[in-house]
Structure 1
Amino acid sequence: MVAQQLTYNGQVAIVTGAGGGLGRAYALMFGSRGAKVVVNDLGGDTKGQGQSSRAADKVVEEIRQAGGVAVANYDSVEDGDKIVQTTLDNFGRVDILVNNAGILRDRSFPRTSDTDWGPIE
Protein backbone atom coordinates (compact mmCIF):
# COMPACT_ATOMS: atom_id res chain seq x y z
CA MET A 1 0.00 0.00 0.00
CA VAL A 2 1.34 3.43 -0.95
CA ALA A 3 1.00 6.14 1.67
CA GLN A 4 -0.92 9.17 0.48
CA GLN A 5 0.90 12.49 0.83
CA LEU A 6 -0.75 15.13 3.01
CA THR A 7 -1.85 18.16 0.98
CA TYR A 8 -2.73 21.73 1.92
CA ASN A 9 -4.69 22.77 -1.18
CA GLY A 10 -6.38 26.13 -0.68
CA GLN A 11 -4.87 26.70 2.76
CA VAL A 12 -2.70 29.66 3.69
CA ALA A 13 0.51 29.22 5.67
CA ILE A 14 2.77 31.73 7.40
CA VAL A 15 6.31 30.51 8.01
CA THR A 16 8.57 32.77 10.08
CA GLY A 17 12.31 32.58 9.64
CA ALA A 18 11.70 31.03 6.23
CA GLY A 19 14.72 32.46 4.45
CA GLY A 20 16.92 29.50 5.29
CA GLY A 21 17.32 26.27 7.21
CA LEU A 22 14.23 24.54 8.56
CA GLY A 23 11.99 27.53 7.84
CA ARG A 24 12.92 27.37 4.16
CA ALA A 25 12.23 23.64 4.13
CA TYR A 26 8.81 24.17 5.74
CA ALA A 27 7.90 26.93 3.26
CA LEU A 28 8.96 24.86 0.26
CA MET A 29 7.05 21.83 1.56
CA PHE A 30 3.83 23.79 2.10
CA GLY A 31 4.18 25.41 -1.33
CA SER A 32 4.77 22.07 -3.02
CA ARG A 33 1.69 20.61 -1.37
CA GLY A 34 -0.75 23.29 -2.43
CA ALA A 35 -0.65 25.94 0.29
CA LYS A 36 -0.28 29.63 -0.40
CA VAL A 37 2.76 30.67 1.62
CA VAL A 38 3.84 33.87 3.33
CA VAL A 39 7.62 33.61 3.53
CA ASN A 40 8.64 35.75 6.49
CA ASP A 41 12.30 36.53 7.01
CA LEU A 42 13.84 39.64 8.52
CA GLY A 43 17.01 38.94 6.56
CA GLY A 44 19.33 39.16 9.54
CA ASP A 45 22.33 36.97 10.15
CA THR A 46 22.42 34.17 12.73
CA LYS A 47 23.04 36.78 15.43
CA GLY A 48 19.94 38.76 14.51
CA GLN A 49 21.92 41.62 12.97
CA GLY A 50 21.31 43.35 9.65
CA GLN A 51 18.37 43.17 7.30
CA SER A 52 17.99 42.07 3.68
CA SER A 53 15.00 40.98 1.61
CA ARG A 54 17.16 38.60 -0.42
CA ALA A 55 16.58 35.42 1.63
CA ALA A 56 12.78 35.70 1.65
CA ASP A 57 12.67 36.72 -2.01
CA LYS A 58 14.77 33.73 -3.03
CA VAL A 59 12.44 31.26 -1.27
CA VAL A 60 9.37 32.94 -2.80
CA GLU A 61 10.96 32.57 -6.23
CA GLU A 62 11.71 28.88 -5.58
CA ILE A 63 8.08 28.25 -4.62
CA ARG A 64 6.79 30.12 -7.68
CA GLN A 65 9.17 28.34 -10.06
CA ALA A 66 7.83 25.03 -8.75
CA GLY A 67 4.26 26.18 -9.55
CA GLY A 68 3.29 27.37 -6.08
CA VAL A 69 1.95 30.65 -4.74
CA ALA A 70 3.96 32.73 -2.27
CA VAL A 71 4.66 36.27 -1.11
CA ALA A 72 7.49 37.64 0.98
CA ASN A 73 7.25 39.51 4.26
CA TYR A 74 10.25 41.21 5.88
CA ASP A 75 8.80 42.24 9.26
CA SER A 76 10.25 41.20 12.59
CA VAL A 77 8.29 38.56 14.47
CA GLU A 78 7.99 41.20 17.18
CA ASP A 79 5.51 42.82 14.78
CA GLY A 80 3.41 39.71 14.27
CA ASP A 81 0.33 41.78 13.46
CA LYS A 82 2.13 43.12 10.37
CA ILE A 83 2.94 39.59 9.21
CA VAL A 84 -0.69 38.59 9.65
CA GLN A 85 -1.83 41.74 7.83
CA THR A 86 0.40 40.87 4.85
CA THR A 87 -1.24 37.46 4.82
CA LEU A 88 -4.77 38.84 5.01
CA ASP A 89 -4.05 41.47 2.33
CA ASN A 90 -2.76 38.83 -0.08
CA PHE A 91 -4.80 35.73 0.72
CA GLY A 92 -7.69 36.79 2.97
CA ARG A 93 -7.09 34.30 5.77
CA VAL A 94 -4.58 32.35 7.88
CA ASP A 95 -4.85 28.58 8.30
CA ILE A 96 -1.35 27.55 9.35
CA LEU A 97 1.41 29.24 11.36
CA VAL A 98 4.92 27.84 11.70
CA ASN A 99 6.69 29.99 14.30
CA ASN A 100 10.22 29.04 13.28
CA ALA A 101 12.21 32.30 13.54
CA GLY A 102 15.13 32.27 15.92
CA ILE A 103 18.57 33.62 16.69
CA LEU A 104 21.64 31.46 17.12
CA ARG A 105 23.34 31.90 20.48
CA ASP A 106 26.37 29.64 20.50
CA ARG A 107 27.20 30.06 24.18
CA SER A 108 26.67 28.01 27.28
CA PHE A 109 24.04 29.32 29.67
CA PRO A 110 26.54 30.64 32.27
CA ARG A 111 28.36 32.61 29.54
CA THR A 112 25.23 34.29 28.17
CA SER A 113 25.22 38.01 29.00
CA ASP A 114 22.22 40.25 29.59
CA THR A 115 22.91 41.83 26.19
CA ASP A 116 22.63 38.39 24.54
CA TRP A 117 19.16 37.88 26.01
CA GLY A 118 17.73 41.17 24.69
CA PRO A 119 16.86 40.07 21.14
CA ILE A 120 15.51 36.74 22.39
CA GLU A 121 13.01 38.17 24.89
Structure 2
Amino acid sequence: MPIQISMQDALESIMVLRAWLVFVLLISILDNLKLAKGDSTEHARRRLVDQTPGFISIDCGARGDYLDEGTGIFYKSDSGFIDTGTNNDISPEYYSSMVSPNYVRQIKNLRSFRRKRIVTP
Protein backbone atom coordinates (compact mmCIF):
# COMPACT_ATOMS: atom_id res chain seq x y z
CA MET A 1 0.00 0.00 0.00
CA PRO A 2 1.68 3.28 -1.07
CA ILE A 3 2.04 6.02 1.51
CA GLN A 4 0.41 9.31 0.60
CA ILE A 5 2.20 12.47 1.76
CA SER A 6 0.47 15.79 1.33
CA MET A 7 2.25 18.91 0.15
CA GLN A 8 1.59 20.46 3.57
CA ASP A 9 3.31 17.53 5.31
CA ALA A 10 6.29 17.82 2.98
CA LEU A 11 6.60 21.57 3.65
CA GLU A 12 6.37 20.99 7.40
CA SER A 13 9.14 18.39 7.16
CA ILE A 14 11.34 20.82 5.26
CA MET A 15 10.75 23.52 7.88
CA VAL A 16 11.63 21.11 10.69
CA LEU A 17 14.84 20.13 8.89
CA ARG A 18 15.73 23.80 8.40
CA ALA A 19 15.15 24.47 12.09
CA TRP A 20 17.45 21.57 13.01
CA LEU A 21 20.11 22.84 10.61
CA VAL A 22 20.00 26.29 12.19
CA PHE A 23 20.10 24.74 15.67
CA VAL A 24 23.14 22.57 14.86
CA LEU A 25 24.89 25.49 13.19
CA LEU A 26 24.27 27.74 16.22
CA ILE A 27 25.55 25.09 18.63
CA SER A 28 28.67 24.67 16.50
CA ILE A 29 29.25 28.42 16.39
CA LEU A 30 28.78 28.85 20.13
CA ASP A 31 31.10 25.92 20.86
CA ASN A 32 33.69 27.43 18.53
CA LEU A 33 33.41 30.77 20.36
CA LYS A 34 33.89 28.99 23.68
CA LEU A 35 37.12 27.43 22.38
CA ALA A 36 38.26 30.77 20.99
CA LYS A 37 37.95 32.45 24.40
CA GLY A 38 40.43 30.01 25.99
CA ASP A 39 43.36 31.30 28.00
CA SER A 40 46.92 31.49 26.68
CA THR A 41 47.66 28.01 28.04
CA GLU A 42 44.88 26.57 25.91
CA HIS A 43 46.20 28.39 22.85
CA ALA A 44 49.70 27.08 23.58
CA ARG A 45 48.31 23.54 23.73
CA ARG A 46 46.50 24.04 20.43
CA ARG A 47 49.69 25.32 18.79
CA LEU A 48 51.52 22.29 20.17
CA VAL A 49 48.88 19.96 18.73
CA ASP A 50 49.18 21.74 15.39
CA GLN A 51 52.92 21.04 15.36
CA THR A 52 52.55 17.37 16.33
CA PRO A 53 53.54 14.99 13.51
CA GLY A 54 50.59 13.02 12.18
CA PHE A 55 48.02 15.55 13.39
CA ILE A 56 46.10 17.53 10.80
CA SER A 57 43.36 20.16 11.01
CA ILE A 58 41.00 19.85 8.06
CA ASP A 59 38.54 22.59 7.10
CA CYS A 60 35.83 20.81 5.13
CA GLY A 61 34.75 22.96 2.23
CA ALA A 62 37.62 25.46 2.42
CA ARG A 63 38.80 26.57 -1.00
CA GLY A 64 42.44 26.52 0.08
CA ASP A 65 44.87 25.97 2.97
CA TYR A 66 45.29 28.81 5.46
CA LEU A 67 46.77 29.76 8.82
CA ASP A 68 44.36 30.96 11.49
CA GLU A 69 46.14 34.01 12.91
CA GLY A 70 44.11 33.93 16.13
CA THR A 71 45.02 30.38 17.17
CA GLY A 72 48.12 29.71 15.09
CA ILE A 73 46.50 26.57 13.67
CA PHE A 74 47.18 25.70 10.05
CA TYR A 75 44.04 24.42 8.33
CA LYS A 76 44.28 22.18 5.31
CA SER A 77 41.52 22.13 2.72
CA ASP A 78 39.79 18.78 2.39
CA SER A 79 40.14 18.92 -1.40
CA GLY A 80 43.28 16.74 -1.28
CA PHE A 81 41.48 14.04 0.70
CA ILE A 82 38.16 13.68 -1.06
CA ASP A 83 36.78 14.24 -4.53
CA THR A 84 33.07 13.85 -3.79
CA GLY A 85 30.58 16.17 -2.19
CA THR A 86 29.68 19.70 -3.04
CA ASN A 87 30.95 22.93 -1.52
CA ASN A 88 28.25 25.22 -0.21
CA ASP A 89 28.38 28.73 1.20
CA ILE A 90 26.49 29.43 4.42
CA SER A 91 24.26 32.47 4.17
CA PRO A 92 25.70 35.40 6.18
CA GLU A 93 22.37 35.84 7.94
CA TYR A 94 23.19 32.70 9.96
CA TYR A 95 26.55 33.86 11.28
CA SER A 96 27.27 37.54 10.58
CA SER A 97 25.71 39.01 13.73
CA MET A 98 26.87 36.28 16.09
CA VAL A 99 30.47 35.57 15.15
CA SER A 100 33.62 37.61 15.39
CA PRO A 101 35.07 38.41 11.94
CA ASN A 102 38.13 36.39 12.98
CA TYR A 103 36.13 33.16 12.80
CA VAL A 104 33.98 33.74 9.73
CA ARG A 105 36.45 31.97 7.45
CA GLN A 106 35.94 28.66 9.26
CA ILE A 107 32.16 28.69 9.19
CA LYS A 108 31.18 30.45 5.99
CA ASN A 109 31.41 27.35 3.81
CA LEU A 110 31.11 23.61 4.12
CA ARG A 111 31.23 20.46 2.05
CA SER A 112 28.17 18.23 2.05
CA PHE A 113 28.03 14.58 1.09
CA ARG A 114 25.28 12.33 -0.11
CA ARG A 115 26.69 8.96 0.94
CA LYS A 116 30.48 8.95 0.97
CA ARG A 117 32.71 9.64 3.96
CA ILE A 118 36.19 11.12 4.23
CA VAL A 119 38.88 8.46 4.53
CA THR A 120 42.27 9.57 5.80
CA PRO A 121 45.41 7.53 5.13
TM over 0.5: no
TM-score, length of structure 1 as denominator length: 0.24
More helix by share: 2
Q: Pick the structure with greater CA Rg.
A: 2
Using CA pairs under 8 Å that are at least 6 residues apart, name the structure with larger relative contact order, 1 or 2: 1
